[in-house]
Amino acid sequence: MSARTNSKSWKVFAAAALGAVVAFPLVSSAEYYSRVEVRGNEFLRGQDILAACDINADHSFSGPEKEAMRSCLMSTGQFRDVSFAPQGETMQVVVEELNTRPGRVEVGLQYDSEAGPIGSVLFERYNLFPGTFGSLELTFSEETQGMDASLYRKDAFAGGWDAGIDIHVSQSDFDDQNFTHRRASIEPFIARQFNERSRFEAGLGYRSDAIRDVSLLASPLVAVDAGSHRGAYIRLSYDYDADDWRFGATQHFFGLGSGNIVSQTRLEAEKTFALSPDGLALTLGAKGGHVASLDGKAPRITDRFLIGGSEFRGFAPRGVGPRMGADNLGGESFIVLTAEVKKDIGNLFGTRAQLGGFVDVGSAWELSNTLGGAVDDGLKWRSAVGISLTLDIGRVPVSIYLAEPIDKEPGDKEQNFGISISTRF
């Protein structure tokens, strides 16, 4: 089949998928709100409370669903009471916290088509130290292992400024990369929640970034990055989350005092449009980034962008970007644009389900060092179309997608199917 014929076939597939989404009938009577907020919390952050029981605007707030959410929150042992108070398009989750030392230990299991089985152990406790929330999470899979620990204190400084410290340690050894990567960082930070929608954070940390066990088959542009880089860094971030759109920006300056300061910028935005009152919606998303050395040197591969997987459906993790031989070198710039139509299709396995049709378009490009033009680092657009299904089976979130690349480059690695299943015990 010719490329032109294949492209046309998938355009027909995409149109049919989107048409099926629009035509699929809604069969459940549900109560939905455009925004969910937490009220009455003094010790725990609102987003942590909602995340603990996967409460968000995608879920119905009819009687049985609210009772299940309340039971879940009460089972954490952190609340004396939980109730719900709708205010227009906003559902308020009103909590009364227990002013003791609430905490929990959870063992998690996730299966991801990209990473395989992923295990985790989570411990968290308020008042681990007086007025301070603490957490520790261990994650492990065949190719990656990690530890994240944090301490957080609300209103640590005058003017509503919170303070915290994050510690991160990780190691990865992916079978499609000719090296192993180890990273460790510690970052004290301050944070300010200006309102329920916007949040600013600023951190000053120290990072060790090591590229080890470089294969003799690795590209010279990978081999040149071997070794450890250590230095201080600054992080600035801002997040805004409104009823139907969100925006996030993160700026890092790595290597302070090392003679090679690297600036890394990431931006992300998403907007949802309600197309009909029966659960049909269009979501437009964009994410992108740029990394550059402020001293004229080339950023390392571990600071460049290697995109694919769930971030760019239709392509494998680290499947898109400038290549040399078997190595994806990553790009110093990237962008991914998404358009997805979703519709509530009623209940499957006793839970709300959404069917979607999507188009993803993007690329990763640009290298400071191309070995005199031996590496093609130009902007080459890729695209893919597909369908998605999201639902909960019991209290287990399940996300599935099927995707097919339309536009691709030689050497790109495809991934046509993705599934993510996670649960905690």
Task: Give the pLDDT confidence of 146-167 residue by residue, as tens digits.
Answer: 999 999 999 999 999 999 999 9
pLDDT at 271 over 70: yes
Task: Give residue 103's pLDDT.
Answer: 75
- For the domain made up of 3-30+101-424, the CATH class stated in words is mainly beta
Region 268-283: mean pLDDT is: 93
Residues of the chain with CATH 3.10.20.310: 31-100
pLDDT, tens digit, 9 for 90 and up, residues 22-46? 444 433 456 888 889 998 887 677 8
| Higher-pLDDT residue of 207, 59 | 207
pLDDT above 90: percentage of residues in the chain: 63
Which CATH superfamily groups domain 31-100? membrane protein fhac (3.10.20.310)
pLDDT at 122 over 90: yes
Residues of the chain with CATH 2.40.160.50: 3-30+101-424
Per-residue confidence band for 1, with pLDDT thresholds at 50, 70 and 90: very low
191: tokens are: 């944070």
